[in-house]
A and B are shown apart, each in its own frame.
Chain A
């Protein structure tokens, strides 16, 4: 992977939940314009890892990070780093789809409005292009003014994806088990969207479903108890894992 552009580089990066160490001194790089799948049993630090990359962990006062996390070579944990701008560049999709109690339209333009986009024509364009990229446009184009909360779970998750994609500064998308509560068709739509989106964005996908990682991830990392056990091209990891714990997990013998 050394020949690819590196989007994020972690060097001795640790995260602590109070006194407990949730991530143990990770050193790894995330290549640009690929999908990185993160797998591992619950409690292995997957979500902590993801929320460290857009510093959403900052919201919990007892979580603290150590070491370096470089986004395009800049340390995102540097005291002078603009965390608001970071979150506009590194968007996130949560496990539970949360449509804000606003119209579909207002949900999508939430990010652009914060960035100061006022031009109505531009906002309408953003809404259409983002909803199309999230494969939701055809289902909602006639009712953009109805509340996002009226959509089904699968539609809400695609609305959340569109809301992230509408941010013009977006460079990277973090997804935290985005399909855990969704039906197979919605899941397929999200997965299809992701494979198209990696041309423009770097994607990190945490999933409890190893098959999903095998389907969509270019690279896969296996976490266990806060340690990065194995990391490599998805095909290698699933066919010729280097560690017995990896092979046990991907073949479903534990976790």
Chain B
């Protein structure tokens, strides 16, 4: 027996709409839950004072700084390497078995659990290179962790730039490098920024790999050779060891708001950049 299209249509809309609604509800619930439990704790002094008594009292300033510095350092290392690799693979080499293997390898690396990167970073940077738990070891480890994501998203973004743009650029006497700089990268930028945002989000949310490589010191870092604690790690430790639930939720609320803010700023900047070129 065949169901009349009229009913399948209604059914499809109901199911698809329901799936969307459910996703939204879960998302909103999590955010509202964390914010209602956390926001009462958040105040200027919570944000801008140092923690006391293992985080039971006081603020979260060092972890706030750690959360800015660690992903920033990882990005500073991973971005040029990742985008450079992507440009090389797409613009300077032909698609051969080697480049396909590299892309496949990057895909596999992107899926490896972060704890593996954490262990590697611990053994290689912290122990073998005698760095100890520090910002630098953590930044390097996170850079390796997000590198595959940045390479792959940049690669896709660069491949999506219409070939006609390249032909026009070459036909006007541009070299390959000039074409990359003036045509390919500007038009691939939205995709590349997506990769960057994914990378930053992974770094901000990371705990295992950070504890293994950057440690969890609550002191204010003064150099890249100091151990730092990020907000995610702080939240984990406060909650896991039952130090302070209020402060844990407060940290989580700040974490959510800052991730939201970073995304909004990036989105806004990108929107302005694109509309300047097409309006």
The chain A residues found within 8 Å of chain B, CB to CB, are 54, 56, 59, 61, 84-85, 87-88, 91-92, 94, 96, 98, 100-103, 110-111, 114-115, 146-147, 149-150, 160, 163-164, 167, 169
- Looking at chain B's contact residues, is the secondary structure mostly helix, strand, loop, or mixed? helix
| Nearest A-chain residue to B274, judged by Cβ | A101
Contact between chains at A111 and B168 (CB < 8 Å): no
Given contacts A84-B173, A115-B173, contact A94 B168 (CB under 8 A): yes
Which B residue's beta carbon lies closest to that of A62?
A: B94
Cross-chain pairs A/B with CB under 8 angstroms, 23 sampled = A56-B170, A56-B171, A59-B167, A61-B94, A85-B173, A87-B173, A88-B173, A91-B171, A92-B171, A94-B164, A94-B168, A94-B171, A98-B162, A100-B168, A100-B169, A100-B183, A101-B277, A110-B169, A110-B172, A114-B178, A115-B173, A147-B279, A150-B279
Minimum CB–CB distance for A50 against chain B, Å? 11
Total A-B residue contacts, Cβ distance less than 8 Å: 66
Residue contact A101 to B168, C-beta cutoff 8 Å: no
16 further A-B pairs in the complex, CB-CB below 8 A; given A98-B165, A103-B277? A84-B173, A85-B173, A87-B170, A87-B171, A87-B173, A88-B173, A94-B171, A98-B162, A98-B164, A98-B168, A100-B169, A101-B187, A101-B277, A102-B277, A146-B279, A150-B279
Number of interface residues of B (CB under 8 A): 22
Bound complex: CA A146 to CA B168 (Å) = 19
| Most chain B C-beta atoms within 10 Å of own C-beta, residue among A100, A149, A150, A167 | A100
B162 nearest CB neighbor, chain A only? A98
Which residues from chain B contact A111 at a C-beta distance below 8 Å?
Answer: 172-173
**Contact status A163-B172, CB under 8 Å:** yes
Q: Find out whether the CB atom of B164 lies under 8 angstroms from the CB atom of A114.
A: no
Q: Quick check: B173 and A114 within 8 Å, CB to CB?
A: yes
Which A residues touch B165, using CB under 8 A?
Answer: 98, 100-101
Complex CA–CA separation, A111 to B170 (angstroms): 10
Q: Is B175 part of the binding interface, using a Cβ–Cβ cutoff of 8 Å?
A: yes
